[in-house]
Amino acid sequence: MMQATSTEPPPLKVASVADDGTDDFDEAQPQDPPSQQVEDGRLDELCEHLAWWVHTRRLYGAPRGPVSLLGKLRGGMRPLRTPGGPDAACRADLAALYIALIAQPADALDRQVFELHYLHRVTNVKASAAQLQIGRQHWYTLLRAFRRRIFAASREILAKNEDAARAITAAR
């Protein structure tokens, strides 16, 4: 038996994880403390409730039609996690969160990521992030920061509404 006398090294074998398109989870940053990871999980759940609330209410006019990038990425949609019924609860914290959401600039990258992730329910985060010319990890970083920002803004809105309600009742 004759062996080949090649000077080329054997090809490298590289293993990688197959992309099945189901990476719709929110990854916690390793540098985040456990309490912040728990808080991010709660914010994710609150945003899921917001998505369901917006889907069932339709109080603020017709939904925007998909334009340009949003229309391209809208192909497959993740199912909504229904929190237990055909109609979402009418909650002040969800209304304040929605007001904080729509107060953000509509063309901002982080708001686009938020709307694609929660409202338009994109299934393939990696492909959607590539369309926005960002990486998958940056997608989750933008999403996490945006959630925290609108949550803080919604708390301010609720506090101001409570102060206004106390002022009205005190004036009577």
**104-133: pLDDT as tens digits:** 998 999 999 999 999 888 989 999 999 999
Instruction: Mention every residue, 6+ apart, whose C-beta is less than 8 A from residue 110.
Output: 104, 142, 143, 145, 146, 149
165: pLDDT strictly greater than 50: yes
Question: Which residue reads 């929660």 in tokens?
Answer: 118
Enter the tokens of residue 60.
């603020």
pLDDT on residue 56: 77
Beta bridge partners of 86: none
Q: Given CA atoms 82, 111, 147, 123 in this order, what sign does their dihedral have?
A: positive
The domains of the chain are located at 34-78+92-171
Beta bridge partners of 122: 77
pLDDT on residue 18: 41
How many angstroms separate the CA atoms of 91 and 52, rounded? 12
Instruction: Mention every residue, 6+ apart, whose C-beta is less than 8 A from residue 12.
Output: none
Instruction: Mention every residue, 6+ apart, whose C-beta is less than 8 A from residue 58.
Output: none
pLDDT on residue 132: 92
Enter the tokens of residue 26.
């929110």
Do the beta carbons of residue 68 and residue 112 sit within 8 Å?
Answer: no
Beta bridge partners of 77: 122
How confident is the model over 55-88, as pLDDT tens digits? 776 655 545 554 555 555 555 555 555 555 555 5
The answer to whether the predicted template modeling score (pTM) of the entire model surpasses 0.75 is no
pLDDT on residue 150: 95
**Strand, helix or coil for residue 161:** helix
Do the beta carbons of residue 80 and residue 121 sit within 8 Å?
Answer: yes
Do the beta carbons of residue 137 and residue 92 sit within 8 Å?
Answer: no
Enter the tokens of residue 62.
């017709």
